[in-house]
Amino acid sequence: MNIDTLRERLAHIESTLAAACAKSGRSRSDVRLVAVTKTTSVEVASLLPSLGVNDLGESRPQELWKKAEAIPSACWHFIGHLQRNKVERTIPLCSLIHSVDTERLAQAISALGRTVPVLLEVNCSREEAKGGFPPETLPEVAERIAALPGLDWQGLMTMAAHSENPEDCRGTFAELRALRDDLRRRTGKPLPHLSMGMSNDYAVAVEEGATLIRLGSILFANLE
C-alpha cells in the first residue's frame, strides 16, 4: 500500500530531521516540510494531508493548477520557473512562491494588486542552467523588489549543485543564510525564511538554517 510506504518514509525523514535539529540547536517546529509532488499522481499526493503533511509543492504551473484543484485544502507552494503569462492563474492558488527569479516577474506579481508572499531565488551554485539571481546582484535588486507594493518578501530560496556527498552542499546553504542576514541588515525586513534542502541534502540544509525543505524523490520514488 502506498500509504504505508509513505508513512514509513515520513517516519525516516522525521528521525533525520530530529537529529539535524538536535545537532544544530534548532527546534523541529522551525522547519516545514514541503512535499514536492511533481513526480507523483494526484491520488498519491492526496494521501499526504492525512499523514500530517499539508504543505505541497509543484514546479510547473499546469501541474499545480491540476493538483491544487483536486486537493484545495492543502497549502500549495510554487517552486519552479513561473512565466509571466501564468502569474494571474497561478498566484491565487499558492500560499508561497519560492522562486521569484527576475525583477520582471516580481513586477508582474506586484501588478496583480494583492498581497503575495514570495521568496527570491538565488543561484548560489552559479550553474548556468539554473535560474535565480546571482548572489552579487541581489543587494541592489532586492532593494527595488522590496519597495514593490503587493509583494510580501519573506526570504530566499536556493538549489545546491547536485552531489553524491551532501557535505559538498554545506557551503551553498551557509552562503544563502549569510546573504539573508546581510539583506536583513540592509532592508530592515525580518526575512524569516530560507527554502533550501532537497531529498539528498536536507539534513545539512537544516543544520545550516533551512526553514522550508522541499522533498520529492525521498517520498515518492518507486511508488505505484
Question: Closest approach of Cβ 99 to ligand PLP, in Å?
Answer: 7
The smaller minimum CB distance to ligand PLP, of residues 130 and 184, is found at: 130
Tell me the C-alpha distance between 50 and 10, whole Å. Answer: 12
Q: What is the CA radius of gyration of the chain?
A: 17
Question: Closest approach of Cβ 169 to ligand PLP, in Å?
Answer: 12
Residue in 7, 54, 199, 223 binding ligand PLP, rule: CB under 6 A: 199
With binding defined as CB under 6 A, does residue 216 bind ligand PLP? yes
The smaller minimum CB distance to ligand PLP, of residues 8 and 143, is found at: 8
Tell me the C-alpha distance between 184 and 8, whole Å. Answer: 39
The smaller minimum CB distance to ligand PLP, of residues 9 and 189, is found at: 9
Question: Closest approach of Cβ 128 to ligand PLP, in Å?
Answer: 17
**Among the candidate windows 14-22, 61-69, 101-109, 193-201, which touches ligand PLP by CB under 6 A?**
193-201
String of DSSP letters for 68-113: HHHSTTSEEEE-S---GGGHHHHGGG-SEEEEE-SHHHHHHHHTT-
Residue with cell 542576514: 181
Which is nearest to 209 in space by CA: 21, 16, 35? 21
With binding defined as CB under 6 A, does residue 79 bind ligand PLP? yes
- Write the interaction track for ligand PLP spanning residues 25-44; mark x where CB under 6 A is met and - where it is not: -----------x-x------
Tell me the C-alpha distance between 92 and 78, whole Å. Answer: 11
∠ CA(54), CA(55), CA(58), 5° rounding?
130
Q: Is 208 helix (H, G, I), strand (E, B) or coil?
A: coil
Residue in 159, 176, 204, 210 binding ligand PLP, rule: CB under 6 A: 159
- CB atoms < 10 A from the CB of 118, how many? 27
With binding defined as CB under 6 A, does residue 16 bind ligand PLP? no
- CB atoms < 10 A from the CB of 32, how many? 18
Tell me the C-alpha distance between 203 and 93, whole Å. Answer: 29
Q: Which of residues 112-141 bind ligand PLP (CB under 6 A)?
A: none
Residue in 6, 61, 80, 183 binding ligand PLP, rule: CB under 6 A: 80
Residue in 198, 203, 204, 205 binding ligand PLP, rule: CB under 6 A: 198
Kindly tell me the number of DSSP H helices and DSSP E strands found in the chain: 9, 8
Residue showing the smallest CB distance to ligand PLP in the complex: 216
Tell me the C-alpha distance between 9 and 32, whole Å. Answer: 16
Question: Closest approach of Cβ 25 to ligand PLP, in Å?
Answer: 25
List contacts with ligand PLP (CB under 6 A): 36, 38, 59, 79-80, 159, 198-200, 214-218
